[in-house]
Every structure is written in C-alpha cells, then in structure tokens.
C-alpha cells in the first residue's frame, strides 16, 4: 500500500485549517459512494460469471496486489445480488470517502476532529434498509453471494466488512464492530469475538441479566461506518457518534424490527437476531486472517440465531478479502487505529505526542511508531508502557521517534532506527506481554502471550551530554528557511 507521507509542517498547517474539513459533504451510504467512484473511473464491474468458492478470492488478491479499483461482481454463481469489494482499499479512495486530500496528515486531522466533535445519530421512521422484508431466507442459498474467501476457510463468511450492532443493557451505549460471521446453516451464523472486544463487554452484561443479547448485522455501509467499526473506538463511545463526526452530519438510524437496537437506515442489508448467553457453537473457522495466515479453529464460539432479514430494493452485498497487506482491511485499520492510539495517549495525559502510526506493514496491528517532543527523562518509556497498555490493541513493537521523523514514512523511521539506536541502550524487551493468538511468531503453547519490544529511536542527547565530549552531529539538510524559499520559487525553476 502506498501511504503518502505528510511533512510535519504540513500536518501543523492542517491542524490549524480545520475549516477545510468541516465544509465537507460526505457520502451517507454505499450507493452514493459507489456512484461517485464509478464517475471517477474507480470501479471495475465484472460481468463474467465467477465462482464463489475459488475465483472471487483469487481475483480480489490479485487486484489488491495491483492497487486496483473497487470491484462489483455482477454474476457470482447464479446469484442476482451484486457483490461489492474494495471500495476503501486505497489511500485515494479512503480520502475520496472523507472528501479530504489523499494525505495521511488529512486523515489524522479529520479523525482527531471526529473524536473532539462527535455527532449523535438521528432516528428516522422510514428507512431504505427496510424496503424489503425477506421471508424464509436460507442464508446458505439465497439471496446474498457470500464467497469462500480463502481456499482453506471452513465456510462462507457473511460478515467481513460490516458492523455487528449491540447495546449495553445498563448504559444504553451502542457499539458497532466488525466481527466475522460464518454461515453455519440457513438461519445461524457465527460471531467471532476476540478477547477485549466491546461486544464481549455487552455480552457479559446480558449474561448477568440472564437474557440473550439482541444483535443486528448491518452490511453495505456508508464509508464512515466501515471505518469506525474496525477502529478501536474507546469503550462507552458509540461508533455512530464518531462516524457522524467523520461524516460531518448525523448518521440516520432506525429501530430494528425485533429489538430496540438502532440500525443504520441506509445500510443495504440488516440481519437481526439474538446471541445466546448459555449456548455456544462447537466449532468455528479456520478463516484467512489479516496477518496473511490461516487462523485456528475456534471451539465453543458465540453465534447468532437469525430472526429477521430486511434489505434495500436490489441490494448490494459488501465484503472484503482479508489477508496480508496490502488489503482493504489494513488500509482501514491502519488509519483508524492510529487515530485511536493517538486518542488513547492523549486521554492518558502523556505530553508531547505529535503523531502516531500503527503501521500498514505490521498488518496495522503489531507495530506502532510514535513521534514525540521529548520533555523529561523516562518520557519514551512512558510512551512504551501506555502503547502496550491500550486495552484493545496489541502493538507488541513500539518505536518512538523525534519530531523531525514522520511516523508514516517507513524510510524515515528506519533511518532514525539505524542512526539513533544502540540496541543495548535503547531497546526494552518485556516478556509475557499481551498479544493476540493470531500472531504466528508465537509457538502454540504460548499463544496469546508475546515479548514486547520498545525501541527508543530518538536522538541520544542526554547520553551525549553525559559523555561530555561532543554534541550529537548536526543534520546535513538545508536550513528550514532555505527550504521554505525554495518551495516558494519551485515553479520558477521550471518544475510543474
């Protein structure tokens, strides 16, 4: 994935210029975004009949590796419903969805703005997602073209880029999260919940009440809902509010048919049901994971009894091909999780945090780079500890860099690591840290535990001071004022 590197100066300018971001008019559903992408040549419609068990996944993988367009499969086996994949898999399309420049600095800015200025959803009475009430649906046959995404998957995965919606029975907090849904039979789907997920917090409260948990699966979503459902939005904060903040207008919601859950009014498909509190499905998965490897089978897994399906007239079925980077999933999680980690460090009160990137190359999960203005002895270690302590992420590797390094630029980060780090002085290793079992570098008997590594890639200024011989060497870069003048005169030199 090509992530365009912002200059920190640019970032600061954007921070001051939030009015650019507030004036956006973004897309309230998948269709309007698809129409925009079509108009701009960013969609490939595939009208050839394709096989859902091997061909869809292979086309998606090839298309991701080519940095290709969004795909609409119009003829998956004999299904009439089109399958939409990859609408948000590139920096350009992510930017288009938010109507901001295709620069990570603009993404960072708009996410920070959404956290600071969330917008609550509004409830409507008539919703497109209820245009058709489907009766006697057999999810294995009809009407949605659910692929076997990877050759070794246990079954078709209905939910890959979607939201499972649940409510905290005590506080009313509505959570939206992307938790996959393998189809087990005509009206039962899995709901895989990794440890620490917010849906799990809700489930435990429903269990205490002794009642099954109402849940709704929303598929075919406005881009901002896809972005927030995968992005570690803090507990007790609804993804609806942050998505509204990203969108610049409230998300429209409607009451579900079988519960008081509020579901996105403009979703393509809503599948409602209940997740039992005292029954589990014996076996779920394996499924091709975001790490690029097959995950393991899960035993005694949560599942949902489907009670009702509604959808728009002629709906689109949306999904994504999980796997190694580059992928749509990495693109989405990288931006959203970087914003979530920034927010976490800010809420923890750590000073001097300038920018954060949960890197695409680490599957948007395992490595976090933080740029700081170092203010006190031990500051870098404080950052390590708080990154490791973020409750729902699992950034086992943390690199802390100075303000002159852009955390989104892997070459700059490696330059800092190469020229400012002595491993015996600047690398901290902590054994037995929190991780996820999907990290294949762990041997099976230690799954879920990981060694944590913190790399202090800031200039060793204090160490130089203690050495009292020389100062840390000066940079070879031109003076900032010279760069500024050269930029002003750039066209005069004949550059376009």
Taking CB atoms, the residue at the shortest distance from ligand FMN is 177
Query: Min. distance of Cβ 179 from ligand FMN in angstroms?
Result: 4
Task: Please name the residues in contact with 87: beta carbons below 8 A apart, sequence gap of 6 or more.
Answer: 30, 33, 34, 37, 70, 93, 97, 223, 226, 318, 328
Q: Which is nearer to ligand FMN, 352 or 440 (CB)?
A: 440
Phi, psi angle pair for 400, to nearest 5°: -110, 130
CA 484, CA 490: separation in Å to the nearest integer? 10
Query: Min. distance of Cβ 378 from ligand FMN in angstroms?
Result: 30
CA 429, CA 445: separation in Å to the nearest integer? 20
Query: Min. distance of Cβ 189 from ligand FMN in angstroms?
Result: 12
Phi, psi angle pair for 452, to nearest 5°: -100, 140
Q: Which is nearer to ligand FMN, 50 or 88 (CB)?
A: 88
For 368: left if phi > 0, alpha if psi spans -120 to 50, otherwise beta; the answer is: beta
Dmax (CA) of the chain? 81
DSSP assignment of 416-483, as one string?
HHHHH--HHHHEEEEEEEE--TT-TTS-GGGTTEEEEEEEE-S--HHHHHHHTS-PPPPP-SPPHHHH
Query: Min. distance of Cβ 375 from ligand FMN in angstroms?
Result: 30
- The binding site for ligand FMN (CB under 6 A) comprises 160-161, 175, 177-180, 192-194, 197-199, 230-232, 320, 322, 329, 332-333, 392
Q: Quick one: tokens of 410?
A: 């892997």
Q: Which residues of 317-354 are buried (b: 16+ CB within 10 A; e: fewer)?
A: bbbbbbbbbbbbbbbbbbbbbbbbbbbbbeeeebebbb
Q: Which is nearer to ligand FMN, 189 or 254 (CB)?
A: 189
Task: Identify the CA nearest to 357 among candidates 68, 1, 117.
Answer: 1
Task: Identify the CA nearest to 272 among candidates 313, 314, 213, 222.
Answer: 213
Q: Which is nearer to ligand FMN, 256 or 285 (CB)?
A: 285
Q: Which is nearer to ligand FMN, 175 or 291 (CB)?
A: 175
Query: Min. distance of Cβ 312 from ligand FMN in angstroms?
Result: 22
Query: Min. distance of Cβ 495 from ligand FMN in angstroms?
Result: 39
Q: Which is nearer to ligand FMN, 248 or 365 (CB)?
A: 365
CA 327, CA 325: separation in Å to the nearest integer? 5
Q: Which is nearer to ligand FMN, 180 or 434 (CB)?
A: 180
Q: Quick one: tokens of 378?
A: 């031990």
Query: Min. distance of Cβ 160 from ligand FMN in angstroms?
Result: 5
Q: Which is nearer to ligand FMN, 75 or 207 (CB)?
A: 207
Query: Min. distance of Cβ 358 from ligand FMN in angstroms?
Result: 11
For tokens 């300038």, the residue is 354
Q: Which is nearer to ligand FMN, 221 or 413 (CB)?
A: 221
Query: Min. distance of Cβ 473 from ligand FMN in angstroms?
Result: 42
Task: Confirm if 289 and 321 have CB atoms less than 8 A apart.
Answer: no
Query: Min. distance of Cβ 234 from ligand FMN in angstroms?
Result: 8
For tokens 């992307």, the residue is 178
Q: Which is nearer to ligand FMN, 122 or 194 (CB)?
A: 194
């Amino acid at each position: 994935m090509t992530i365009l590197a912002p200059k920190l100066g640019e970032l600061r300018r954007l921070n001051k210029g939030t009015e650019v971001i507030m004036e956006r008019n973004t897309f309230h559903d998948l269709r309007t975004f698809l129409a925009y992408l079509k108009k701009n040549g960013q969609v490939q419609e595939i009208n050839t009949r394709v096989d859902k068990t091997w061909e869809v996944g292979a086309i998606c993988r090839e298309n991701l590796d080519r940095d290709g367009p969004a795909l609409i499969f119009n003829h998956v086996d004999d299904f009439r419903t089109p399958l939409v994949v990859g609408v948000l898999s590139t920096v350009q399309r992510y930017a288009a969805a938010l109507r901001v420049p295709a620069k990570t600095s603009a993404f960072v800015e708009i996410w920070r703005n959404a956290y600071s200025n969330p917008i609550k959803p509004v409830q409507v009475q008539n919703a497109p997602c209820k245009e058709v009430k489907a009766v006697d649906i057999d999810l294995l046959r009809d009407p949605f073209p659910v692929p076997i995404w990877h050759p070794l998957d246990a079954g078709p995965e209905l939910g890959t880029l979607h939201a499972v919606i649940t409510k905290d029975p005590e506080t009313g907090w509505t959570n939206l999260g992307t938790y996959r849904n393998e189809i087990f039979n005509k009206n039962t789907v899995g709901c895989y919940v990794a440890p620490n997920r917010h849906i799990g917090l809700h489930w435990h409260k429903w269990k205490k009440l002794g009642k099954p948990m109402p849940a709704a699966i929303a598929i075919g979503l406005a881009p901002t809902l896809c972005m927030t459902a995968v992005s570690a939005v803090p507990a007790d904060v609804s993804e609806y509010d942050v998505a509204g903040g990203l969108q610049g207008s409230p998300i429209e919601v409607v009451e579900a048919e079988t519960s008081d859950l509020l579901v996105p009014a403009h979703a393509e498909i809503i599948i409602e049901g209940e997740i039992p509190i005292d029954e589990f499905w014996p076996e779920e998965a394996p499924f091709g994971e975001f790490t690029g490897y097959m995950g393991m089978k899960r035993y005694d897994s949560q599942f949902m009894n489907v009670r009702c399906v509604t959808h728009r007239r002629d709906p689109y079925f949306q999904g994504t091909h999980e796997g190694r980077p580059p992928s749509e999933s990495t693109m989405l999680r990288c931006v959203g999780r970087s914003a979530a980690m920034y927010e976490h460090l800010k809420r923890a009160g750590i000073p001097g945090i300038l920018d954060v990137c949960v890197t695409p190359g680490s599957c948007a999960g395992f490595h976090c780079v933080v740029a700081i203005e170092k203010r006190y002895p031990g500051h870098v270690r404080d950052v390590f500890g708080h990154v490791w302590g973020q409750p729902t992420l699992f950034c086992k590797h943390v690199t802390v860099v100075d303000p002159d390094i852009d955390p989104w630029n892997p070459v700059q980060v490696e330059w800092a690591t190469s020229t400012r780090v002595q491993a015996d002085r600047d690398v901290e290793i902590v054994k037995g840290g929190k991780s996820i079992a999907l990290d294949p570098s762990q041997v099976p008997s230690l799954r879920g535990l990981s060694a944590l590594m913190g790399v202090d890639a800031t200039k060793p200024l204090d160490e130089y001071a203690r050495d009292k011989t020389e100062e840390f060497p000066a940079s070879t870069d031109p003076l900032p004022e010279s760069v500024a003048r050269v930029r002003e005169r750039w066209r005069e030199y004949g550059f376009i």
